[in-house]
Structure 1
Amino acid sequence: MTRDELKAAFDEQCPVIHGGITYQRISALISRREPGKRRAFLQVELMDRTGRSVTIADPDRIERSGSNAKI
């Protein structure tokens, strides 16, 4: 997903898929910087179905779920 698509999915709180698993929503967009590096990189925090656990994921491996139904 592009940054704009990630932001839209985050704002809409729609389900997303990562590694074949459907997650409830994107709970955070995280900008990180490694020591000594000039550029920051983006990571995505995904809320699981139970709402009790999160997964930090590479945004290039996330896709929007075909369903907007609440999981």
Structure 2
Amino acid sequence: MEIKIGIQHTARELNLESNLSAEEVEAAVAAALKDGGVLTLADEKDRKVLIPGSKIAYVELGEPTGRRVGFGAI
């Protein structure tokens, strides 16, 4: 699953691919926002991302799009 996280006072968003389901990510984000804790997510290569809950601006969840190859019609 593709996850995009906007962080306050940062021009760029954080993009990562994770094996977590949308429900698992939603629960982790809700817990971090509610308690003012830290959002911890692992990407496909088991690297961890830690974000303070108070600094999260938005979270966008979606399925990854397949990469297009070649010069075929769009």
TM-score of the alignment, normalized to the shorter chain, above 0.5: no
Q: Which has the larger radius of gyration?
A: 2
Higher helix share: 2
Q: TM-score range by the shorter chain?
A: 0.3 to 0.5
